[in-house]
Structure 1
Amino acid sequence: MARVSQEHLDARRRQILDGAARCFARNGFHATSMQDVLTEVGLSAGAVYRYFRGKEELIGAIASEAFAGIRGAFEEASRATPPPTPDVLLGAVLRLFLEERVEGADRQAFARLIVQVWTETLRNEKLAATLSEGYQGMRAAWTTLVTAYRDSGLLRADVPADHVARTLIAAAQGFIAQQALFGDVTAEVLEDGLRGLMSMSVPGDATAA
């Protein structure tokens, strides 16, 4: 029997994950059966179960990829020196993660899948641990950037860096939620909104730059 190449194995695993993701995005995790996944990918049960023992493993793999994708997009976008301002950085991250990865109407389905992953962590301890690890990594990375902004005089020093980091993460999460619910937002919307907020100053506040 000819030995199956690793490239073939990786491609088959990718096929299964992509098909499962489409099913979950359409109907949700709990309304999707393994038979739905088998039909979507056009493979036998034996072929699929060779890679994943069941729906829970598929959900876990998709969730891990989603978390890693967000963090990877952020790390890639933040390699510039000096680091871009938050509006530019978040816009670049969301383009890498949502707009360049998927096309057109599929972006809303992909965003819906991410929101489903978030909700699934409320009942799945393993997924919750994966999400927590990714979130803590994002907080640490953003805190480092915020400290750099502050050291360069771009940001006032009286607000903890971690508070700014968590707020910026929340902005990205809110953007993804809007895309999932309404499907009518682009990275430019977030960039423009953040840029407008960053330009605000409080009358009479001597600490505002």
Structure 2
Amino acid sequence: MARVSQEHLDARRRQILEGAARCFARNGFHATSMQDVLKEVDLSAGAVYRYFSGKDELIAAIVKGVLAEIRAAFEEVTRQSPPPTPDVLVGEVLTRALGIWDSLTVDDEPAFPRLIMQVWAETVRNAELALVMDEVYGVVTTAWIRVAQAYQDAGMMRADIPAEHVARTMVATVQGFIAQQSLFGPVPVEVLQNGLRAVMSMAGPQSQA
């Protein structure tokens, strides 16, 4: 019997994960059954269970995979020196994050924003996945702290605001935009960039003559 190549095994595993991700993005983790996944990927139960013992293992693999890719996107983009301005930086991060599994769609819309909402919700009830989320959040926050400190060192940003406060705000901005994509439909990243540019351009109120 011919041996199955590692490339084939990896492709099959990816096929199962992508099919499960579509199901989860469409109906949520807990409203999706393994039968739904089997139908989506058009494989037998034996073929799927060779890779994953059940739905919980599928959920864990997807959550860990999504968070790992988001972490990598943040680390790569925020490693630039000197860092670009926040509007450019956030645009690059979001483009990378929203491009994860960009071939997956649900109802003709990108599946990733819906899926990440499911991921965030799942980490609230799953202690193991919550630890993964905490680790990723720590790495991402640290990356943004470095960026804020670089802005301050270059005289681009007020130095009297703690860098951690800036980092939390930037993370919240990205999370909020992804949530909007899930709740209200796709919006170009440029919309957020333009909003940031407007906020960054603010000056104090002009006195009346």
Q: Normalization by structure 1: what TM-score?
A: 0.92
By how many angstroms is 1:79 displaced?
A: 3.8
By how many angstroms is 1:106 displaced?
A: 3.1
1:20 lines up with 2:20 in the alignment: yes
1:144-187 superposed Cα distances (whole Å, 9 cap, x missing partner): 11101100000001110001000000000000000000114221
1:149 lines up with 2:151 in the alignment: yes
Q: How many equivalent pairs are there? A: 203
Aligned-residue CA RMSD in angstroms? Answer: 1.6
Q: Which amino acid aligns with 2:7?
A: E
Q: Which runs of 5+ in 2 are unaligned?
A: none
By how many angstroms is 1:99 displaced?
A: 4.3
1:171-207 superposed Cα distances (whole Å, 9 cap, x missing partner): 0000000000011422101111111111112349xxx
Instruction: Report what 2:122 is aligned to.
Output: 120
Please point out which of 186, 189, 195 is paired with 2:188. Answer: 186
SS in 1 for 2:124: coil
Q: Normalization by structure 2: what TM-score?
A: 0.92
1:106 lines up with 2:109 in the alignment: yes
Distance 1:101 1:33 in 2: 22
1:55-103 superposed Cα distances (whole Å, 9 cap, x missing partner): 1111111111111121222223234332111110110111122147515
Higher mean displacement: 92-101 or 19-28: 92-101
SS in 1 for 2:185: coil
Q: Sort the Cα spacing of 1:125 and 1:100 in 2 relative to 1 into closer, same or farther, 3 A.
A: closer
Instruction: Report what 1:168 is aligned to.
Output: 170
Assess if the C-alpha contact under 8 Å between 2:87 and 2:197 holds in 1. Answer: yes
Distance 1:49 1:202 in 2: 62
Instruction: Report what 2:135 is aligned to.
Output: 133
Distance 1:34 1:101 in 2: 21
Q: Which amino acid aligns with 1:185?
A: V
Q: Sort the Cα spacing of 1:99 and 1:10 in 2 relative to 1 into closer, same or farther, 3 A.
A: closer
Instruction: Report what 1:207 is aligned to.
Output: none
